Amino acid sequence: MSDPILSVRDLSVVFDVKLQNAWPWTPPLKLHAVSKLSFDLQPGETLGLVGESGSGKSTLARAIIGTIPVTSGDILYKGQSLMKMGAQERRKHRRDVQMVFQDPLAALNPRMTVGDIIAEPLVTHEPHTPRKQVKARVGELMERVGLLPNLINRYPHEFSGGQCQRIGIARALILKPKLMICDEPVSALDVSVQAQVVNLLKDIQKDMGLSMIFIAHDLSVVKHISDRIVVMYLGRPMEIGPAKAVTAMPTHPYTQALIASVPIPDPKAERARTRPVLDGDLPSPLAPPSGCVFRTRCPKVQDVCAGNRPAMEISASEQMAACPFHG
């Protein structure tokens, strides 16, 4: 097996939260957005990140691309620590790692034409590229993502949500990145359009040999596009493994509950099946539970779960769960 293109090691991201109406000398609270997370991403692989809102998926994505600071741990890109990169190395990293955002319209500058939006990264990183060559490259990418090149001078508000997401994908691809992070790219789209965008991403990945991190709530979507899946809860990994294994035979109670929440198209089968129901709400990341963070909602909870945090090894092929009572 080749060396991973991306390695995350014991990554933690903690934010300081200042309480309203607090005294000036009152210390801020610590919000644990991501806590001791580790995984590897192989070249050409798609890693799906799944979990409820507040589980730290988007925070992890922004830590990888460098828009938020890392509290502890390390992120290695092609074996090189992002924490130790200088300005020039960081600039090259920004070329290689691109992001597709959740809200397709909000991610586009309303004052710029579609052509200028897609070309912006290329103009920024390669300012001496001839305009004719830039325009040709933009036209090629528009065709590649399913947009007519003659729309190059239109503005974002003239496009549908699915078309705007295609524009965002084209912008992310113009620098020919090695890694693309998709932060819930289909959650704001209609179901039929979701399938089109997911299939487009799969085709692009296959053609360009991209590595991809795909973030979503819907396990059925993640299963369709991912090679492996990481299930996150309150900033920590609950289960990791091959996509087919995790979705067909989930071992962690939290993964089982997520799988059970996905509706079955057959009405009779949907009514007949029993679902594990999670009690309570997601705990506050300002005061996460001790030991296993899922224990306050887990149907298999034991007294030992309040002690040490369950460990989970890093594996590129095996299915692992952070629970001593999994299965």
**pLDDT, tens only, 139-163:** 999 999 999 999 999 999 999 989 9
Residue 138 inside a domain? The answer is yes
- Taking the C-alpha atoms of residue 288 and residue 216, their distance in angstroms, rounded to an integer, is 23
38 part of a folded domain: yes
Alpha-carbon 116 to chain mean position: 26
- Whether 74 is in a domain gets the answer yes
CATH at residue 28: 3.40.50.300
Contacts within 8 Å (CB) and 24+ apart, 272-281: 278/254
Which range has the top average pLDDT, 152-161, 188-197, 306-315?
152-161
Residue 327 has pLDDT above 70, yes or no: no
* Residues 6 or more apart whose Cβ sits within 8 Å of residue 236: 35, 36, 37, 56, 293, 309, 322
* Number of domains observed in the structure of the chain: 1
Query: Is the residue at 218 inside a domain?
Result: yes
Residue 90 has pLDDT above 90, yes or no: no
308 within some domain: yes
Lowest mean pLDDT among 6-10, 175-179, 317-321: 317-321
The answer to the question of residue 327 being in a domain is: no
Predicted local confidence at residue 313, as pLDDT: 67
Question: Is residue 36 within 8 Å of residue 22, measured between CB atoms?
Answer: no
Question: pTM for the full model?
Answer: 0.90
Q: Is 59 part of any domain? A: yes
Query: Is residue 326 included in any domain, yes or no?
Result: no
| Packing angle, helices 161-173 and 191-208, rounded to 10 | 10
At 193, the amino acid letter reads V
Tell me the residue range of the domain where 76 lies. Answer: 6-321
